[in-house]
């Protein structure tokens, strides 16, 4: 008799416990998605902050020297779909071209920018890509249009 009461109680509590477990799992999935979204946003904002700091430093130096048209921004347009990779690509290009920011537009050689970026192999999220420069648009905003092709690195004999 006591055993049957305990069994009935366990049968009544089992769906409740199962519901709690499923609820926790669903909340965990929703929270993980939100954390991923916030991580992407944070990474993008950190890249922007670094870029803005470099811009401010270079622009301040340039303004002290003379009042001419200078390169203020670098924009990268690529064929990548993955936001993580786009953020990392922008960061890499900013590092490669950091000395161009704040430079007099007439003194920057577009072929130099082309040679720095074209046919360069870069690593994005443990994948390698070959950068091909399609177009470079030079104004106060430098725009670089790139095509990235997956590249497997193999030792050649």
> What does the alpha-carbon distance between residue 12 and residue 4 come to, in Å, rounded to a whole number?
12
User: Domain limits of the chain?
Assistant: 32-151
Report residue 129 as tokens: 């890509």
Express as a percent the part of the chain with pLDDT over 70: 93
Residue 98's closest CA among 145, 44, 47?
47
Pick from 2-6, 32-36, 71-75, 144-148: least confident: 2-6
Beta strand 73-77 with 141-151 is: parallel
Average pLDDT score over residue span 78-84: 89
What is this structure's pTM? 0.60
Average pLDDT score over residue span 108-137: 91
> What does the alpha-carbon distance between residue 136 and residue 73 come to, in Å, rounded to a whole number?
13
Beta partners for 156?
none
């Amino acid at each position: 008799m006591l055993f049957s009461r305990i069994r009935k109680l366990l049968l009544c509590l089992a769906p409740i416990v199962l519901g709690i477990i499923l609820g926790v799992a669903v909340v965990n999935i929703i929270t993980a998605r939100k954390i991923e979204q916030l991580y992407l946003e944070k990474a993008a904002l950190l890249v922007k902050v670094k870029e803005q700091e470099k811009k401010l430093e270079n622009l301040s130096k340039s303004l002290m020297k003379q009042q001419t048209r200078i390169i203020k921004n670098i924009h990268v347009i690529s064929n990548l779909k993955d936001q993580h990779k786009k953020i990392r690509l922008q960061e890499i290009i900013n590092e490669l071209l950091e000395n161009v920011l704040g430079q007099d537009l007439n003194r920057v050689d577009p072929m130099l920018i082309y040679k720095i970026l074209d046919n360069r192999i870069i690593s994005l999220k443990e994948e390698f890509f070959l950068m091909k420069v399609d177009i470079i648009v030079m104004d106060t905003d430098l725009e670089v249009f790139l095509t990235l092709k997956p590249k497997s690195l193999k030792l050649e004999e």
